[in-house]
């Protein structure tokens, strides 16, 4: 088994600390949640692999936290970006490309009559809340514990993902006057949602949810949860907002709203949807959309203002179109699922062999590994897992050349570029990791 050294990463980390706060441009890239130390500095990436500045190679299961579903530097995506760059990267005027991507999104997600492109998932979510407030003339939102919706003020209240990983339940710098506009209830718990709606109903502009959770591991909604959520929220005159920044185009070509796991799709349609990640093919993007009468709140048609110098830039849009074109290919999703099934079965077998408690939640080609002996269906259960065991597993995998997200809350993502050989090597490394952990 390989054992990697990373002296150059350590040097660069020291240097980065001098210039970039915490040495990283997003806290989830730091190794704080897995025992600290220098993160790995990457040099280049191709397909399912990347190479660090010390020349070590890794099989990538991070996929940049989701967007890289067609692997790194996919030729079709790269060609689209190159073409866009050669034609000028930003006009500040509309293009036909934007219509093309908007059409593709609308075809795949029928609840979106109208779309608006922005630059990140954060912006998309932030704006859906503004639109919902404008539409309902109410101020409060309900969200679910552990669901992460980007870093705008309102949704950082009791947020999961990065913040919970770092043990910061609420960010500093968010005024109490804003925090009191947010009510947080447990995921998969309709009784709590009902109570919150009874208590604050007249003030609730929207209920915001990751319909399939990706931020405290992968968690499916319990049977009837989304139906109940939509029904109760609408009965209260509030809007339903789905944050599908991770879930859209991750499990199948479409969103949760059209996923075969939910046969009664009409009953789970939201009023507004926020998108990001995959729809930009690895370049910065976000989008939001919804029913025509709701979206007509947005400027220049309506009173809710939202704008963006970089929004809908031809490079991001071209990369997004190319990425979705690859994903439209025959058998793309079943193949990722098949590989994920093989991988999770192999990992589970290894954990069992070395008596390491492990719960895997897999949805299509993505899954999460929870070091515990109970199911994980909500944030509390995801927190009640062995952080130290995950950190050890992460380090052993990294040392053998397998790059997982450095947090027990993040998912493993398959891409169109992983192969059976990658999977079998990963299983072997996982067994070796468990063997070392059991010592
Ligand atoms: N919503 C969800 C569900 C996310 O997972 C994320 C990012 N992890 C965001 C919103 C924020 O997206 P971005 O990082 O592009 O701002």
Q: Is the pLDDT of residue 399 over 80?
A: yes
> For the chain, which domains are there?
7-60+330-438 (3.90.1150.10), 75-327 (3.40.640.10)
pLDDT digits (tens, 9 = 90+) for 52-101: 999 999 999 999 999 999 999 999 999 999 999 999 999 999 999 999 99
Tell me what pLDDT residue 175 has. Answer: 85
Q: 250 C-alpha vs ligand 1 centroid, how far in Å?
A: 14
Instruction: Give the distance, in angstroms, between the CA of residue 164 and the centroid of all CA atoms in the same chain.
Output: 15
Omega before 128 cis (within 30°)? no
Residues labelled as active-site residues = 148, 243, 277
Q: Show the 3-state SS of the chain.
A: CCCCCCHHHHHHHHHHHHHCHHHCCCHHHCCHHHCCCCCCCEEEEEECEEEECCCCEEEECCHHHCCCCCCECCHHHHHHHHHHHHCCCCCCCCCHHHHHHHHHHHHHCCCCCEEEEECCHHHHHHHHHHHHHHHHCCCEEEEECCCCCCCCHHHHECCCHHHHHCCCCECCCCCHHHHCCEEEECCCCHHHHHHHHHHHHHHEEEEEECCCECCCCCECCCCCHHHHHHHHHHHCCCEEEEECCCCCCCCCCCCHHHCCCCCCHHHHCCCEEEEEHHHHCCCCCEEEEECHHHHCCECCCCCECCCCCCCCCHHHHHHHHHHHHHHCCCCHHHHHHHHHHHHHHHHHHHHHHCCCCCEEEEECCEEEEECCCCCCCCHHHHHCCCHHHHHHHHHHHHHCCEECCCCCCCCEECCCCCCHHHHHHHHHHHHHHHHHHHC
Q: 123 C-alpha vs ligand 1 centroid, how far in Å?
A: 9
Tell me what pLDDT residue 439 has. Answer: 87
pLDDT digits (tens, 9 = 90+) for 224-275: 999 999 999 999 999 999 999 999 999 999 999 999 999 889 999 999 999 9
Give the chain's mean pLDDT: 95
Tell me what pLDDT residue 166 has. Answer: 36
Is residue 290 lining ligand 1, measured as CB closer than 6 Å?
no
Q: Using CA positions, which residue lies closest to atom 9 of ligand 1?
A: 150
Q: 125 C-alpha vs ligand 1 centroid, how far in Å?
A: 8
pLDDT digits (tens, 9 = 90+) for 311-359: 999 999 999 999 999 999 999 999 999 999 999 999 999 999 999 999 9
Tell me what pLDDT residue 3 has. Answer: 64
* ipTM exceeds 0.95: yes
Is residue 417 lining ligand 1, measured as CB closer than 6 Å?
no
Is residue 434 lining ligand 1, measured as CB closer than 6 Å?
no
Tell me what pLDDT residue 136 has. Answer: 98
Tell me what pLDDT residue 172 has. Answer: 87
The dihedral built from the CA positions of residue 105, 106, 107 and 109, taken in this order, carries a sign that is positive
pLDDT digits (tens, 9 = 90+) for 155-175: 988 644 443 333 344 688 888
Q: 297 C-alpha vs ligand 1 centroid, how far in Å?
A: 24
pLDDT digits (tens, 9 = 90+) for 178-191: 888 999 899 999 99
Is residue 135 lining ligand 1, measured as CB closer than 6 Å?
no
Is residue 146 lining ligand 1, measured as CB closer than 6 Å?
no
């Amino acid at each position: 088994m390989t054992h990697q050294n990373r002296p150059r990463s350590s040097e660069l980390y020291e240097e980065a600390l001098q210039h970039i706060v915490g040495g990283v441009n997003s806290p989830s890239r730091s190794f704080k949640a897995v025992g600290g130390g220098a993160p790995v500095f990457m040099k280049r990436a191709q397909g399912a692999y990347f190479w660090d500045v010390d020349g070590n190679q890794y099989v990538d299961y991070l996929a940049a936290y989701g967007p890289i579903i067609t692997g790194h530097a996919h030729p079709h995506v790269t060609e689209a970006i190159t073409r866009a760059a050669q034609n000028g990267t930003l006009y500040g005027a509309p293009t036909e490309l934007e219509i093309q991507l908007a059409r593709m999104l609308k075809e795949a997600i029928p609840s979106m009559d109208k779309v608006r492109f922005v630059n990140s998932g954060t912006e998309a979510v932030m704006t859906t809340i503004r639109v919902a407030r404008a539409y309902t003339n109410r101020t409060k939102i309900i969200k679910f514990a552990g669901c992460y919706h980007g870093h705008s003020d309102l949704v950082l209240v009791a947020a999961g993902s990065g913040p919970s990983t770092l043990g910061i339940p609420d960010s500093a710098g968010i005024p109490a006057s804003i925090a009191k506009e947010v009510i947080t209830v447990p995921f998969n718990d309709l009784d709590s949602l009902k109570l919150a709606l009874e208590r604050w109903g007249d003030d609730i502009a929207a209920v915001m949810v990751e319909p399939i959770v990706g931020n405290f591991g992968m968690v499916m909604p319990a049977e009837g949860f989304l139906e109940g959520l939509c029904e109760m929220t609408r009965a209260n005159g509030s809007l339903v907002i789905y944050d599908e920044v991770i879930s859209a185009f991750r499990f199948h070509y479409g969103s949760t709203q059209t996923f075969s796991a939910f046969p009664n799709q009409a009953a789970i349609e939201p009023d507004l949807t926020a998108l990001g990640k995959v729809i930009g093919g690895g370049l910065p993007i976000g989008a939001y959309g919804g029913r025509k009468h709701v979206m007509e709140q947005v400027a220049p048609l309506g009173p809710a203002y939202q704008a963006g110098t970089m929004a809908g830039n031809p490079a991001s849009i071209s990369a997004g179109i190319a990425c979705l074109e690859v994903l439209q290919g025959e058998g793309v999703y079943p193949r990722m699922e098949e590989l994920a099934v093989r991988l999770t079965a192999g990992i589970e077998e290894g954990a069992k062999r070395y008596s390491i408690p492990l719960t895997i939640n897999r949805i299509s080609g993505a899954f999460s590994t929870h070091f515990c002996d109970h199911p994980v269906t909500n944030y509390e259960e995801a927190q009640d897992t062995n952080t130290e065991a995950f950190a050890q597993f992460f380090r052993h995998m990294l040392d053998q050349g397998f790059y997982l997200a450095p947090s027990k809350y993040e998912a493993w993502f398959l891409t169109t570029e992983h192969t059976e050989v990658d999977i079998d090597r990963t299983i072997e490394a996982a067994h070796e990791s468990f063997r070392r952990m059991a010592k």
